[in-house]
Amino acid sequence: MRKASGMKLTNRLVAFVTLIVICAIFVIFIGGAVSFRKLGQDYLTHYLDGIVEVIDQELADPQGSQSLSRWLPKLLKASNVVELEVGSSAGVVYAFKGLQPVNNPNILHQSYYELNHNPGFYINLKSIPPYTTFTYSIGAMSSISLAIVIIIMGLVWGMNWLRQQLYGSELLEHRGRLILAGKVEDNAVGDEQEWPATASLALDQMIAELKDARQERSRFDTFIRTHTFLDQLTGAANRVLFDSRLQSMVQDQETHGAVILIRISDWDELLAEKGKDVADELIQDVGMILSNQIQRYPDTVLARYFDAEFAILLSQQSAKEVKLFTNQLMNALERLVPTAPLQPDNWCHLGVSFWSSGERRGRIMDEADMALRSAQLQGTNSWYAFKKDQQWEDARGSVRWRTLLDAVFSSGGPMLYQQPVLALDDETIIHRELLARIKDENGMIIKASRFLSAVEQVGFNSRMDKLVIGQALQLLKGQPGNDTLSVNVSVEALLEKEFVRWLRVELLQTPRTVLNRLSFELSEGALVKHLDAMRPIARMLVGLGCKLVVDQAGRTIVSTHYIKDIKADYIKLHRSLVREIDQRQENQLFVRSMLGATADSDAQVIAVGVENEKEWRVLKQLGVQGGQGRYFAAEVSVESEPKEIHKNGKSLF
C-alpha cells in the first residue's frame, strides 16, 4: 500500500537545488586548488631547471667553477632553495644549506638532476614549495570571494523565488494530507492559489461527486430498508418487520409482553364510497394517534399489519400496565370522528393477547385475532383480552421499581456480566461487553431488558451509567493490558450536562492506556434522534482514546449517514435481524444494506445474538466482521472465572 511522503515537494526541490549548487562550488574549489598546486609545481620545476642549467654551464668552465661559492648562495636563497648538493661518484663537489627555518621538513620539494655538460655529476635540491607561506588576502582573493558571495546571494534569492512559485503546490499537498487524515468535509473546496490548478479543480470535483455518491447511497440504503420493513403510507413498520421482531422476542429467555391488534371496521366500504384519498387520510390519522400513544414505552413496535389493521408489540410490560394502556388507546381513538359510512360508535376494535418467551408466534397472533373478533361481537368501540390459562402478571409499579433501584444503588450498583465479541478472521476477542443485572427482593436476577425501561421511567439513567462506568474503569485498571471492555451508556444520560462533566473528569483522570481499552455503546435510534447533540460528545470520547460502538442497529429504520458523522468503530446489529437470518431473505437484505453503508468507513459490523451454526454461516457469507452470542460464549459474571469454551474447543478467556 502506498504511503504519503513525509517531505514536502518544495523542500525536496530546495534541498535538491541547494545540494547541486554546493556540490558545484565544492567541485570548482577542489579543481581550482589542484590547478593552483599544479601551476606552482610547474613553475618551481621550470625555475629549478634554469638554476641547474646555469650551474651545469659554470661547472663546464674551469674559471666558472671557482666562482660558484660567491654568487650561487645568493641565487639559491632568493629561489627558496634550502639545500643543494653537487657531486659525483668521487664525492661532493659543492654543498649548500640555507639558514631559514623550516617547521615541517616533509613539505620540502626534492629534485634530482643529472648534468648534461658534466657527465657523471649530479645535483640534489631541496626547496620550499610555492604558496606555502602565503595567507588569505582579501585583495588577492577578492574576485573568488566576490564570486562565492554572489553565488550564495543568488542561491538564497532562487530558493525564495522557488518557494513562492511552489506555494500553490504546498497548499494542494497540505489539503491532500488533511484528506488522507479523514477531514474530507472540511477540505472539500481548495484555495484559489493551489497549483496545478487543474489538479485542484479535479480534486474539488471528485470530492463533490464522492459526497453526493455517499449521500445517494445512504438514501438508497434507507430506501431499500424503508420499502422492505416500513409501511409507505404511515411510516410505521410493516408485517414483515413486526413478525420478525415478535419472533425474535419470543425466542429470547425471560421475556414477556402483549400484542394488540387494532382493526378499522367497514374500511372497504369507505374505500369504495369515498375513494382512496379519504381512506388513506383515516389510516394516517389512526397511525398518528397510535404512534403518539406508544412513545412512553421503550422497545415498542407499531406496524400496519394489514390495510385496515394495526398491530402493537409491547415488551416487558405487566398485564396491569397493558390493560391501562389499552384503555388509554381506546379513549384516544374514540376522539377521532370517522367519515361515513363508518359508525362513530362502532368503527374500531382492539384485541389483546399476552405472551411470554417460548410461545409460537403464529399462536400469539391467532389469539390476538380471536380477541379482536370478540370485541367486534360487542357491537361498539371496545377491546377484549384473550383469556389464557397462565397469564403473566406482574404488579410492580414505578414506586416499587424506584425502591428496588435505590436499594441496588446504595449497595454498590448492579452486578456485571460479560460476553465476548469475536473477530471473524482469527476469532480473537475484540472486546467484552459488560451487561448489567440486578436482584429483586427475593434474590432473583433480573436482566437489563426488564429493568432498563423502569430505569428510564423513574429517571435513574445517569445514576445507573455512573455506577457501571465506574466499575468498568476499576476492572480495566486491574486486568491485563490487552483486555478491552465495552459498556452501554444511555443517550438520555449523555444529554445531561452534569453527567457529561462527570464523565469528562473521570476519563481525564484515567491513564491513556486504560482509555484505549474502553468502548462506549450507544443505541442507534436514540443516537440518530439526538445526533446534533451527540456529535461533540462522540468527538470527546474518541479524542480521549475510547472507541465508539453503535448498538441495536436496525431496531429502527434510520439513515446510516451518522456513521461518517461520529466515526463509529463498530456497528452492532440488533438481535432481531440475526435471529433465523438463514430463513429470512429480508433480514439478509438489511444486513447487506448496512454493510454497504459502512464500506467507505472504518466501522466494522458485528452480529449480536448469534445462536447456531446456520446463522453464523450466513452472516459470514454476507461479510460481517465479528459476532456475539451464545453460539460463541454465554454471559458470565465478571466476579467469577469464565469457563466458557468456543465451539472449536478454544478457550475464549
The continuous run of DSSP H or E covering 558 comes out as none
pLDDT at 647 over 50: no
By CB atoms closer than 10 A (0-12, 13-18, 19+), residue 457 is: middle
Residue 148 vs residue 332, higher pLDDT: 332
The strand pairing partners of 123, in sequence order, are: 86, 113
- pLDDT-based confidence at 648, cuts 50/70/90? very low
pLDDT of residue 64: 64
Residue 189's contacts (CB-CB under 8 Å, 6 or more residues apart) are 204, 207
pLDDT at 641 over 70: no
Give residue-wise pLDDT tens across range 307-316: 889 999 988 7
pLDDT at 4 over 60: no
Give residue-wise pLDDT tens across range 342-383: 888 889 999 999 988 888 888 999 999 999 999 988 888 999
HEC profile for 214-254? HHHHHHHHHHHHHHHHECCCCCCECHHHHHHHHHHHHHCCC
Instruction: In whole angstroms, give the CA distance from residue 508 to residue 185.
Output: 29
Residue 653 vs residue 36, higher pLDDT: 36
What's the mean per-residue pLDDT of the chain?
Answer: 83
8 Å CB contact between 223 and 589? no
DSSP codes, 134-187: ----HHHHHHHHHHHHHHHHHHHHHHHHHHHHTHHHHHHHHHHHHHHTT-TGGG
pLDDT of residue 202: 86
Residue 516 vs residue 441, higher pLDDT: 516
- pLDDT-based confidence at 134, cuts 50/70/90? low
**Residue 157, amino acid:** W
Q: Which of 97-111, 502-516, 624-638 shows the lowest mean pLDDT across its residues?
A: 97-111
* The pairing of beta strand 604-608 with beta strand 626-628: parallel
Neighbours of 345 (CB within 10 A): 8
pLDDT of residue 151: 82
> Of all residues in the chain, what percent carry a pLDDT higher than 70?
90
- pLDDT-based confidence at 489, cuts 50/70/90? very high
Q: What's the gap between Cα 233 and its chain centre?
A: 38
DSSP codes, 93-118: EEEEE--S--S-GGGPEEEEEE-SSS
Residue 362's contacts (CB-CB under 8 Å, 6 or more residues apart) are none
- For the record, the C-alpha cell of 205 comes out as 470535483
Residue 576's contacts (CB-CB under 8 Å, 6 or more residues apart) are 244, 245, 247, 248, 249, 554, 555, 609
C-alpha distance from residue 211 to each of 176, 264, 539, 564, 603 (Å): 16, 45, 21, 11, 18
8 Å CB contact between 361 and 399? no
- pLDDT-based confidence at 215, cuts 50/70/90? low
**Residue 116, amino acid:** N
Among residues 539, 465, 532, which one has the least CA distance to residue 503?
Answer: 465
In the 8-state DSSP scheme, what is residue 265? T
Exposure of 567 in the CB half-sphere (CA atoms within 13 A):
17
Residues 584-605 have a mean pLDDT of 83
pLDDT of residue 619: 92
In the 8-state DSSP scheme, what is residue 649? S
Among residues 200, 329, 309, which one has the least CA distance to residue 264?
Answer: 309
- pLDDT-based confidence at 52, cuts 50/70/90? confident
Instruction: In whole angstroms, give the CA distance from residue 397 to residue 632.
Output: 36
pLDDT of residue 288: 92
pTM (predicted TM-score): 0.64
Give residue-wise pLDDT tens across range 232-289: 888 888 888 888 888 878 877 778 889 999 999 888 888 888 888 888 898 999 999 9
pLDDT of residue 268: 86
Where b means 16+ CB within 10 Å and e means fewer, 358-396 reads ebebeebbebbbbbbebbbeeeebbbbbbeeeeebeeeb
Residues 161-170 have a mean pLDDT of 80
pLDDT at 96 over 80: yes
Q: What share of the chain is helix, strand, coil (3-state, %, to 5)?
A: 50, 20, 30
- pLDDT-based confidence at 651, cuts 50/70/90? very low
pLDDT at 82 over 60: yes
Ranked by mean pLDDT, which of 306-315, 549-558, 644-653 comes out on top? 306-315
Q: Which of 157-166, 215-224, 259-268 shows the lowest mean pLDDT across its residues?
A: 215-224
Contacts of 385-390 spanning 24+ positions with Cβ under 8 A: 385/323, 385/326, 385/351, 385/352, 385/353, 385/354, 386/351, 386/352, 386/353, 386/354, 388/353, 388/354
> Of all residues in the chain, what percent carry a pLDDT higher than 90?
23
